[in-house]
């Protein structure tokens, strides 16, 4: 809608970043295939040639954006080291903190996240694989934490850790899609509450 940036004679990095932002804007609106290089450069207020001065191809920009999104998750690590888990309350604490961090990140970068959750799906093998690897990594992390709880004996021994991790992943994804991607001010507390409560106790009466 509005030109993303100013004009002329930016430093290489700045111009690149400007194009990247414009691309994000454009892709968010139209998806990968619905967005043309023309849209991106118009949004950026930059000439066609300039675009190719900074990126190899349309694929390249999209890829860069996806990578940047993925990298965001690597930084979501609420505590630097393995926390000690003695009681269920410890576990709850950890979960609460994790979800807060994750949901916060997702919301903060919701435009980028949309790329992951809605635009990069169904694209060609390269992106597909990247996404799969990403979800696998995330799954591993969740599973790690869960196993920690199991080992600490604060949750059920017979938990199907693998599938449950998948389910948690799905829960977060859907909540994110529904309540974070488009919302300006989401109710984080309600979301985290719902997540933690459900994960810990299911729907069963206490």
Partner DNA sequence: TATGAATGAGTCTTCATTCAT
Partner DNA sequence: CATGAATGAAGACTCATTCAT
Q: Interface residues with its own copies (CB under 8 A)?
A: 31-34, 88, 118-124, 146, 149, 154-156, 159-160, 163-164, 166-167, 169-175, 178-179, 190-191, 193-195, 197-206
The count of other CB atoms within 10 Å of the CB of residue 118 is 14
Q: Report the alpha-carbon distance of residue 187 to residue 68 in Å, rounded.
A: 26
Q: Least distance in Å: CB of 23 to DNA?
A: 11
8 binds, among its own copies, DNA, none (CB under 5 to 8 A by kind): DNA
Cα–Cα dist 32/124, whole Å: 11
Q: Closest approach of Cβ 28 to its own copies, in Å?
A: 11
Minimum Å gap between C-beta 52 and DNA is: 4
Q: Which of residues 55-94 bind DNA (CB under 7 A)?
A: 56-59
CB of 162 to its own copies, least distance (A): 9
User: Which of DNA, its own copies, none does 120 bind, CB closer than 5 to 8 A by kind?
Assistant: its own copies
- Decide: is 202 part of the binding site for DNA (CB under 7 A): no
By a kind-dependent CB cut-off of 5 to 8 A, residue 172 interacts, out of DNA, its own copies, none, with its own copies
Q: Which of 164, 162, 161, 136 is nearest to 150 (CA)?
A: 161
Please say which residue, 74 or 121, places its beta carbon nearer to its own copies: 121
Q: Binding marks (x or -) toward DNA, 6..45, rule CB under 7 A? A: -xxxxxx--x-------------------xxxx-------
Long-range contact set of residues 28-33: C-beta below 8 Å, sequence gap at least 24:
28/111, 28/114, 28/115, 28/119, 31/118, 31/119, 32/62, 32/119, 32/120, 32/123
- Residue 132 contacts by C-beta under 8 Å, 6 or more apart in sequence? none
Cα–Cα distance for residue pair 170/181, rounded to 1 Å: 15
**Cα(22)–Cα(44) distance, integer angstroms:** 5
The entry of its own copies, DNA, none that residue 192 binds, CB within 5 to 8 Å by partner kind: none
Residue 166 burial (CB count, 10 A)? 15
User: Which residues make up the interface to DNA (CB under 7 A)?
Assistant: 7-12, 15, 35-38, 46-50, 52-54, 56-59
């Amino acid at each position: 809608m509005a030109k993303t940036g100013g004009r002329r004679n930016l430093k290489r990095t700045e111009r690149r970043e400007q194009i990247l932002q414009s691309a994000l804007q454009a892709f968010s609106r139209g998806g990968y295939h619905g967005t043309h290089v023309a849209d991106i450069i118009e949004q950026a207020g930059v000439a066609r040639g300039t675009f190719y001065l900074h990126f190899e191809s349309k694929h390249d920009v999209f890829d860069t954006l996806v990578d940047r999104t993925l990298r965001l998750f690597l930084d979501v690590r609420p505590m630097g080291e393995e926390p000690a888990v003695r009681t269920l309350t410890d576990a709850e604490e950890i979960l609460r903190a994790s979800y807060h961090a994750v949901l916060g990140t997702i919301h903060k970068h919701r435009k980028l996240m949309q790329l992951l959750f809605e635009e990069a799906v169904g694209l060609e093998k390269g992106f597909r694989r990247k996404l799969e690897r990403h979800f696998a990594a995330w799954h591993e992390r969740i599973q790690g934490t869960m196993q920690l709880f199991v080992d600490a004996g604060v949750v059920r021994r017979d938990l199907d850790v693998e599938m449950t991790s998948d389910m948690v992943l799905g829960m977060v994804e859907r909540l994110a899609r529904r309540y974070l991607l488009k919302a300006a001010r989401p109710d984080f507390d309600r979301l985290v509450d719902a997540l933690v409560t459900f994960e810990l106790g299911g729907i069963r009466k206490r």
